[in-house]
Amino acid sequence: MARLVPSLSGPDVGTWSAAATLGYQAYTVLAVHAVHLLVIWLTGAPARVDVILASAGVWVVLLVWVKTRGTRLRDGEVAGLCSTGAVIAVVNGLFAQPPTHVAFIAVGLVGMLLSTCSFTSLAVARVVLPVVLVGQVMLQLGTFGTSVTSLAVAGFTVAATLGACQLVLSAKAALDEALARADQAARTDPLTGLLNRRALAQAFGAVRAAAPGGHRAAVVALDLDHFKRINDEHGHDAGDDVLRRVADVMRAHTRQGDLLVRLGGEELAWVGSWADAEEAHASADRLRAAVAAAPSQGIPVTTSAGVAFSTDATHAAPDAEALSRLLVRADVALYEAKRAGRDRVVLAAPQLPTDADPHHGNDGTDDRASTHDRAPAPQVRDGGSGKPSAAAAAGTAEIAGQRA
């Protein structure tokens, strides 16, 4: 069964699930066919063995198709597979005897529908629901006729199926909402509303892939100057308010599709793509000026920033390695901005030739710089002092809103 289910990933919950639904139903129905044939053989009861075998054969074909597909299925394919399974069950129930098998298939249709509702989107359930309901009525009337009793039983069956589906869909909607809230909480910082570093790592590849031709990824690391002094003199509530206001300024002055990051404490980051390092530096300086010019409520706020633009080696590196290199180089440049007097932007030096060989450092060049470029993760500043702290593991990122 595990081999039937493609990998699950965020919004693809509604598209991968046909494999689980069909796999569950296929294994179950194939088992029913086997038991039915065994009972016929043991009891000698009359039955259309050819119909049963044909139905089982179609289920096998569907099962093999899902197993060999190897990718997530589209919503239309989910609905098509589930509806096909329902039609197969109806045909098998109508033409294979005895009537007890028909009743079993009718109940199995409800199980198919409920599993479809549980695993897939509402749109898919709406497609499969009428197929199953029509199938139930056909089985009932085709086997027991159109008497008043048979019609009443068919109506009761349809009503019970609709009620069960409504309960399942309501429970699924509540579960989906809870999962969405949990995912949002796991990805966002409750103070600033920015997403966390885990979200940054997940979204960085998309930023690189969406970069226009000739553009490359860059990281702008920002640190609030003298933030510890703000907390000491005005209180931590005021410090929290400053962080929220700076995050709002970042949202207003960045482009749609960029990532805004809280790396921890008072250190933030802006991740996007630019045509060259100078353009990235100019964008970072405009953001620095916007923060300084924003209403401060009596608390002047300035930022220092370091900008790291992708070199050839970083541009060619895998996403995780490229992000790590950019974060560390931006952090080094940020430290230089702090040391140079704060309230300024420093562009990180391009990676040295040793970057092409991360283990090389014996050619007289500054191996410290190449180490920064290949280090696994940056450190985070504490209180605007310019000294690294160990808070880097906490962090947040967000896909920014409006274009500047």
Domain boundaries, the chain: 2-187, 197-399
Overall average pLDDT of the 69-73 stretch: 61
| CB burial of residue 316 (10 Å; 0-12, 13-18, 19+) | exposed
Query: What local confidence, expressed as pLDDT, does residue 286 receive?
Result: 96
- Whether omega for the bond prior to residue 378 falls within 30 degrees of 0, making it cis, is no
Tell me how far apart the alpha carbons of residues 93 and 305 are, in angstroms, rounded to a whole number: 71
Query: What local confidence, expressed as pLDDT, does residue 244 receive?
Result: 94
* 181's tokens: 């809230």
Residue 368 has pLDDT above 60, yes or no: no
Query: What local confidence, expressed as pLDDT, does residue 350 receive?
Result: 81
* 368's tokens: 């410290």
The pLDDT tens digits for 8-46 are 333 344 344 555 555 555 666 666 667 666 766 776 666
- CA–chain centroid gap for 82, Å, is 25
Residue 6 has pLDDT above 70, yes or no: no
Stronger pLDDT, 228 or 31, i.e. the higher one: 228
Contact 353, 364 (CB under 8 A): no
CB within 8 A of 186, min separation 6: which ones? Answer: 196, 198
Q: What is the mean pLDDT of the chain?
A: 75
**Strands of the sheet with 216-224, listed across from one edge:** 345-347, 303-309, 216-224, 267-274, 259-264, 396-399
Query: Angle formed by the axes of helices 13-43 and 49-69, to 10°?
Result: 150
Contact 346, 362 (CB under 8 A): no
Residue with token string 């593991």: 393
How big is the chain by its Cα radius of gyration, in Å?
31
Which CATH number does the domain 197-399 belong to among 1.20.1070.10, 3.40.50.1010, 3.40.309.10, 3.30.70.270?
A: 3.30.70.270
Residue 168 has pLDDT above 70, yes or no: yes
Nearest to 192 by CA among 288, 283, 260: 260
Tell me how far apart the alpha carbons of residues 383 and 396 are, in angstroms, rounded to a whole number: 18
- What percent of the chain shows pLDDT beyond 70? 65
